Amino acid sequence: MRDASFPPLLSGYPVAGESDPLDAAIAQAALGCDAGLVVYNLGASELRASIIFAPEVPLEDAMAMLPACGIGFQNALGALAPPEVAVHLDWAGGIKINGASCGHLRAISSTSDPAQVPDWLVIGLELPLWPASDGPASDRPGDTPGETALYAEGCADVDAKALLESWARHTLVWINRWSGEGTGPLHNEWRGLVPGIGEEANQGGLSGTFLGVDDRFGMLLRDQDGTTHLIPLSSQLEATP
């Protein structure tokens, strides 16, 4: 079986077995690998992949890569799945297919300081392909009505490798637009993919009405007293293992 192929500026690094591509990507980034490396593991029941970035802007601005990768995934699956399959995103990186949770995006950086330019930033994708009888996405959908897997949602003909390659291509398009046009195009596309704006939300120990995001994709949350809180997107960074 051939390795996945990627467009110019991106290169592939497959890992197999139980290897976690997010951990492998962090290790490669720490060693100083070139940006654009896509580390991936095409397992039988899960697609896992990570893209390594070398931002030239402060971390809070670079966190735009999280929604960029989310939009890239929505575009990729939208091009491969039947037209009736609905793909949405949530602010923190979650992916929803036909209204149910189906994987998520993760972000890890060399620094947690939002004002510092990071040496590297890794965005990881984890997508269940088949429901796992002993996992959160049970093969009896009624057991976990809020969670699903790709092939349980009418996408059995979507090849995981083709989806990975498409995700990389579409993500690169959005990164180039962000680099050349700023966050405006990302904002416009992202708003149409995120349900719940104008509704009640809970985030970072706060609850209130989700008003939308600022120019750095920070969540704007208005509480019962009418105070609007800004929750930076960098608050969703995971600690480096």
Express each pLDDT in 57-93 by its tens digit: 999 999 999 999 999 999 999 999 999 999 999 999 9
Reading the chain (241 residues) residue by residue, the pLDDT tens digits are 678 999 999 999 999 888 999 999 999 999 999 999 999 999 989 999 999 999 999 999 999 999 999 999 999 999 999 999 999 999 999 999 999 999 999 999 999 999 999 999 999 999 999 986 544 444 454 556 689 999 999 999 999 999 999 999 999 999 999 999 999 999 999 999 999 999 999 998 999 999 999 999 999 999 999 999 999 999 999 998 7
Of 169, 154, 133, which is closest to residue 86 (Cα–Cα)?
154
For residues 109 and 123, the answer to whether their CB atoms sit within 8 Å is no
Domain 200-236 matching CATH 3.40.50.300: the answer reads no
CATH number of 11-191: 3.30.930.10
Q: Where are the domains of the chain?
A: 11-191, 200-236
φ, ψ for residue 211, nearest 5 deg: -85, -20
φ, ψ for residue 21, nearest 5 deg: -65, -25
Q: Which helix (H) or strand (E) holds 32?
A: none
- Distance in angstroms (rounded) separating the CA atoms of residues 188 and 227: 25
pTM of the model: 0.93
Express each pLDDT in 58-68 by its tens digit: 999 999 999 99
Angle 166-168-174 from CA coordinates, rounded to 5°: 105
Looking at residue 144, what is its pLDDT? Answer: 62
